[in-house]
Amino acid sequence: MAQEPRVSPDPPPRVILGVCGGIAAYKAVEVCRRLVDAGAHVVPVLTAEATRFVGALTFSALASEPVQTSLWDEASPIPHTRLGQSADLIVVAPATAHFMARYRAGLADDLLMATLLATRAPVLLCPAMHTEMWEHPSVQENLATLEGRGVEVVRPETGRLAGGDSGEGRLADPATIAERALAMVGHRRSIALDLSDRRVVVSAGGTREAIDPVRFLTNRSSGKQGHAIAEAAARRGAHVTLVTSSGLALSEDVRSSVSRIAVESAADMEAAMAVACAGADVVVMAAAVADFRPKAIADRKLSKDEGLPELVLEPTPDILVGLVSRRPPGQVVVGFAAETNDVLERGRKKLARKGVNLLVVNDVSAPGAGFDHDTNAVHILGADGSVTEVPLTSKDAVANAVLDSVIAHQREKWSTT
């Protein structure tokens, strides 16, 4: 009989509630109350303008900690860093037009702005303003830019506005905002350990193919998506091996749960993956392996004074095809495809050609997606013809979507083991 998935025992999610100076600031009190009632640890951060609309004492009475309003009025010399690093989520409600312009520009002229720049936590913006302001091209451009950076948005509603007008721009209902915020932290904090005792191998990063002792061929892959998958698998209870060419650090909470193997070239990665994958339940080949390498590597630095050297390239081994050909029964193999055109068509062809169970394909030319971003947008293609679209979101969220697809693919098999 299959066991019920265990749930990781974590402390309450820590939510920074930023409040800007708009008439809708009074509704943020209700957002605060709902988050606290749901078990979140809420830290209110008010701008100076917000205190013109609502009293700081009200939030201090309802929240988990007293209101903070300034970079300079507490004992900590760097309050923005402490707040940003400790946050599981930052909610800004209401987010004014002025705030969004400053956030897009990366200003850090008050505590809320500095905290937003000092965090890696997801951010949820809840705009509120008059219809004319909301529809202004500059406001919409600022919002689109922020969404492209991975910021989540609860868009305003249509209804009665300040001054007796009616139209789009009214702050979303506090219940809607709280529900969205709780869903975001819930995915991070109440994670079912549905990969307990499973062995997961993940590759990450772009390989380096030496030309001489100084120079090499490589690509733009940062390794962020592969590292996010390794961390997500560890948080879901898996024994994870990460084969990576990237120097990215793993998050402290999973560092002890991930065995890390550093590689550089395609040949290094091929050898390491062959050993690591032998007894794995899941293999995720997220690395961007170079397609070609120099046929001969110079034993000394090549000098341009000696003239242009002849660089003869040869194909690198297709690591993914090799892994599929040797996979043991029941192992699920996930491939990745970075494309710039005809994304789904090329992805489906690669899925069939490689023989993988799942293929994650993305358009790396799309804004906010692909190499070196903290966000991504992908389609997860299944060998059974299934297609799962994951719109632009954080690479952590994409990682969990990939693992959700793996579990769905293996549900029947794993339910009997």
**Strand ranges in 78-214 using DSSP code E only, listed in sequence order:** 89-95, 123-127, 152-153, 157-160, 166-170, 199-204, 209-210
Sign of CA dihedral 365, 221, 275, 266: positive
Task: Name the E strands within 121-263.
Answer: 123-127, 152-153, 157-160, 166-170, 199-204, 209-210, 216-217, 239-244, 258-262
Q: Is 219 annotated in the active site?
A: yes
CA torsion sign for 259, 261, 266, 268 is negative
373: its two tokens? 């971003």
Return d(Cα 286, Cα 200) in angstroms, integer.
13
374 burial type by CB count under 10 A (0-12 exposed, 13-18 middle, 19+ buried):
middle
- Which is nearest to 32 in space by CA: 94, 80, 79? 94
Identify the three-state secondary structure at position 280. Answer: coil
- The amino acid present at 375, given as its one-letter code, is T
Indicate which residue of 142, 219, 362, 400 is catalytic: 219
Q: How far apart are CA 319 and CA 263, in angstroms?
A: 14
Provide the pairing of β-strand 313-315 with 375-382: unpaired
Active-site amino acid positions: 219
